[in-house]
Amino acid sequence: MDILQLLTDFFTNYGYAAVFFVLLICGFGVPIPEDVTLVAGGIISGLGYTNVHTMFAVGMAGVLVGDATMFTIGRIYGTKVMQVRFVARYLTEERFMAVQEKFAKYGNWVLFVARFLPGLRSPIFLTAGMTRKVSFWRFLLMDGFAALISVPVWVYLGYFGANNRDWLLTWLHRGQSGILMVLAVAAVGLGVWWWLRRRKTAKSA
């Protein structure tokens, strides 16, 4: 049985609480795909077991609480948390240094992009708390903004594809690449806008 079917069966039996719980542990770095979890939540809504709009709200809550918990742990315990065996498995010294370099280069936008990087999401959020360079509310704003893009995509994809599994699986595999492509185009657009604005300002000076 694949992970999507397993989660769908579990959520069918236990509803919103099960979806929230799985998303919460996803935020802790447990290797359960967050996108598949959200799609499974959408599927049970499409099958009539839950309300899809409520499922979207539960999905947002589970994602943000899980992420905020990782950030807060890093904030409270600092580098000491790297001595915990569970954490040390995915937050090595090399990865910690790499994430710090990303913050130095790209600033708070790393938090936004992290939502779309499954393997790096938890280490980045944990590191953000550890470095104490980002306030909790700034973190929540950046992460929440990104979640408003990804969460509804997966939940409503599951909802509309609940009765067409082949179509659903096709778009599930395409979805992550599609989101990253849209973000890349948006980033290029913002870069061009910033460059044109700066050039205009320089000319008028």
pTM (predicted TM-score): 0.78
Beta-carbon count within 10 A of 144 CB: 17
Owner of token pair 């990782």? 70
Distance CA 85, CA 171 (A): 36
Which residues, 6 or more positions from 80, have their beta carbon under 8 angstroms from its beta carbon?
none
| pLDDT of 64 over the 70 cut | yes
Q: What is the largest CA-CA distance in the chain?
A: 66
Lowest mean pLDDT among 11-15, 104-108, 167-171, 177-181: 177-181
Distance CA 167, CA 176 (A): 15
| pLDDT of 94 over the 90 cut | no
pLDDT at 67: 92
Tell me the range of 23-37, 51-65, 106-120 where mean pLDDT is highest: 51-65
Tell me the range of 30-34, 107-111, 190-194 where mean pLDDT is highest: 30-34
Cβ contact 144:111 at 8 Å: no
